[in-house]
Amino acid sequence: MSRARPHRSGVRAAALIVVAFVAACATTARDGLDVAQLPVDVRPDYALFARRCSKCHQLARPLNSGIRDDAMWAGYVERMRRQPGSGITRADTVPILRFLHYYSSTTLAAARAPDAGSR
Amino acid sequence: MKMTGRPARLALIASALGAAALLRAATADAIERNFAGSAQLDYFFVPSETGGPGGRTAFDGFTSEVALKLAADVSDHLSANVKVCYGCHGFELPMAYFDFRVADELVIRAGRFSPSFGAFNIRHDPANHVTSDKPLPYDMGRMLRIADWNLGVLPSPFPDNGVEIGGTHWFGERAQLDYAAYAVSGFRAPTGSNDLVWGLSQTRGGNMIDNNGRPAGGGRVATTFRIGEANDLTIGGSVMAGTWDPSNRFYYLIAGGDVSARIGRTQLRLEYLVRRQTFAPPPGVPYKLVVPPSGEESFEKHGAYLEIERTMSETVTLLVRADGLYRAGNLPVTSPLAPRAAVFRYTAAGTLALAPGFRLKASAELWAFTNDVPVHQDLEAAFHLAVVGTF
């Protein structure tokens, strides 16, 4: 049984996808954080966090998780560390948790700022 | 009524204790539970899909995959996970299990879960891979000519009821060993089937009890080597075997090997699976090849993929992939497949961050189908455009 070969509509669909993708490239959104905006002493911790935690999922997953509590982060990172092939050692959890503490405290502070609701 | 003296003090103390108890309970809640989810809306465009006399050959059009997951750390040694998905076949419960952790090296999992097999399964959530669909060996319904092929080698995810013992151990800071061994209900099909009936393993299958009472078993071993700070290499092997029919007469055996490497911002993944399965052609049903006198037949279904994923920037990720399936074995004469049939697919894909946790996905696929001859006989194209979000 012979089925139809790719035809013009296929080419048009491919072109549409390319155009949509290129147009959407105007976005400046990013999955992680802008390293240049981080304090110098936090950057190595963020780099390790980004390297380890982007292996299996987007960085937005932990960053958007809404977790603000250090103990909850500790449990979260422990769960990830025990994932098969995570590549996260116990030693890695220290700088990762240090970064997450910084991230939580700064985003929490920003959320509590008086003009946070107007932004 | 205004309270004074001792009753007032008692009421104040009681209120303070109550508030403290509530606060403690709220804090405990915050510590112990994590709620997460993802959603993908995909539009699958297949120019050659006409829905003509042969019927639809692909589930083109809009599809959505939604997942909601709750993880709870009951104690230092006990955690629970529940995940509900909504997809092409309605609601599914792919996770509902307890993990009892004696140590990192010994974790006992019991309940409903996808047993450890292969490298892809941990990334099966659409938010965790670049393409809208899965590699062909793990295809769950987005392949062309889906009915002819009856999906991939092992459609992912593959939740089942059972128990798994597993763990992870680091050798220094450079090597991580993971292992798992499990017993689950196993895949099933009614007597007289010539392939597994995947729907019977899904929640929509209705009756979630085993059809033969004999568990299927399997396991996985994988080692991850950290090479420098930004590179790692994982090598793994998996196996799964069981009987699928009510009388425990016929078996399936699935084996796989995988290698994945992360070199800076580039990930390379290679995985191979094969399923060997025995069955008995029902009397009176004509088959393409002569059925042996024993009345027992077998087939093999091989699948593999090779993909390279590159994070181009914080915004853009690109991927190229080649994957395929090859089936060898007897079939009813009504099947469009030949006793030796293959499909190859070549994919170019990308994701674009529209907002943190929200991405646009696009991919273009060239499909090549072949029956009995080792050349591409029949070409088709397909396209995906999707958005995916996580929280």
Euclidean distance between CA atoms B383 and B106, whole angstroms: 44
Tokens of B233: 């290499």
Other Cβ atoms less than 10 A from the Cβ of B327: the count is 24
* Banded model confidence at residue A28, pLDDT cuts 50, 70, 90: low
pTM equals 0.85
Q: What is the pLDDT of residue B211?
A: 85
Q: Which of A14-28, A94-108, B17-31, B36-50 has the lowest mean pLDDT?
A: B17-31
Average pLDDT over residues B357-376: 88
Euclidean distance between CA atoms B309 and B93, whole angstroms: 30
B127–A61: do the CB atoms touch at under 8 Å? yes
Find out whether B367 and B343 touch, Cβ atoms under 8 Å.
yes
* Banded model confidence at residue B178, pLDDT cuts 50, 70, 90: very high
Find out whether B183 and B176 touch, Cβ atoms under 8 Å.
no
A30–B222: do the CB atoms touch at under 8 Å? no
What letter does residue B308 receive in the DSSP assignment? E
In angstroms, the Cα distances linking B362 to A22, B351, B357, B381 are 11, 6, 16, 14
Q: What is the pLDDT of residue B41?
A: 96
Which residues of B are less than 8 Å from A27 in CB distance?
A: 315, 352-355
Q: How many CB pairs under 8 A join A and B?
A: 165
The ranges assigned to domains in chain B are 33-390
Residue ranges with strand state E in B75-230:
78-87, 90-103, 106-113, 160-171, 175-184, 216-227
Q: Which ipTM was obtained for this model? A: 0.75
Q: Is the pLDDT of residue B35 over 80?
A: yes
Model pLDDT for residues B37-93, shown as the tens digit of each residue: 999 999 999 988 766 556 678 888 999 999 999 999 888 899 999 999 998 878 889
Q: What is the pLDDT of residue B56?
A: 73
Burial class (CB in 10 A: 0-12, 13-18, 19+), B217: middle
Model pLDDT for residues B91-108, shown as the tens digit of each residue: 889 999 999 999 999 999
Euclidean distance between CA atoms B126 and B388, whole angstroms: 7
Find out whether B147 and B157 touch, Cβ atoms under 8 Å.
no
Please give the full DSSP string across B236-292, using - where no structure is assigned.
EEEEEEEE-STTS--EEEEEEEEEEEEETTEEEEEEEEEEEEEE-PPTT--BSSPPP
Burial class (CB in 10 A: 0-12, 13-18, 19+), B218: buried
As a whole number, the mean pLDDT across chain A is: 79
A2–B391: do the CB atoms touch at under 8 Å? no
Find out whether B46 and A7 touch, Cβ atoms under 8 Å.
no
For chain A, list the domains and their CATH numbers. Answer: 35-118 (1.10.760.10)
Q: Closest Cα of chain B to A51: distance in Å?
A: 7
Q: Which CATH code of 3.30.460.20, 2.40.160.10, 3.30.1180.20, 3.40.50.300 fits the domain covering B33-390?
A: 2.40.160.10
* Banded model confidence at residue A112, pLDDT cuts 50, 70, 90: low
Euclidean distance between CA atoms A91 and B158, whole angstroms: 34
Q: Looking at the DSSP assignment, which residues form a beta bridge with residue B162?
A: B111, B184
Euclidean distance between CA atoms B287 and B295, whole angstroms: 12
Tokens of B318: 């690109």
Q: Is the pLDDT of residue A56 over 90?
A: no
> One-letter amino acid identity for B296?
E
Nearest to B332 by CA among B196, B197, B194, B198: B194
Q: What's the distance, CA B357 to chain centroid?
A: 21
Q: Is the pLDDT of residue B129 over 80?
A: yes
CA-CA-CA-CA torsion for B133, B134, B138, B141, nearest 10 degrees? 0
Q: What is the pLDDT of residue B4?
A: 44
* Banded model confidence at residue A25, pLDDT cuts 50, 70, 90: low
Other Cβ atoms less than 10 A from the Cβ of B172: the count is 8
Across the interface, of A10, A29, A85, the residue whose CB is closest to B354 is A29
As a whole number, the mean pLDDT across chain B is: 88
- Best of B145, B314, B360, B369 to disrupt the A interface (most A CBs within 10 Å) is B314
User: With a CB-CB cutoff of 8 Å, which residues 86-115 of chain A face chain B?
Assistant: 86-87, 89-91
User: With a CB-CB cutoff of 8 Å, which residues 19-78 of chain A face chain B?
Assistant: 20-21, 24-25, 27-32, 34, 51, 54-58, 60-61, 63-67, 69, 71-72, 75-76
Find out whether B64 and B92 touch, Cβ atoms under 8 Å.
no
- Best of B29, B31, B121 to disrupt the A interface (most A CBs within 10 Å) is B31
3-state SS, residue A79: helix
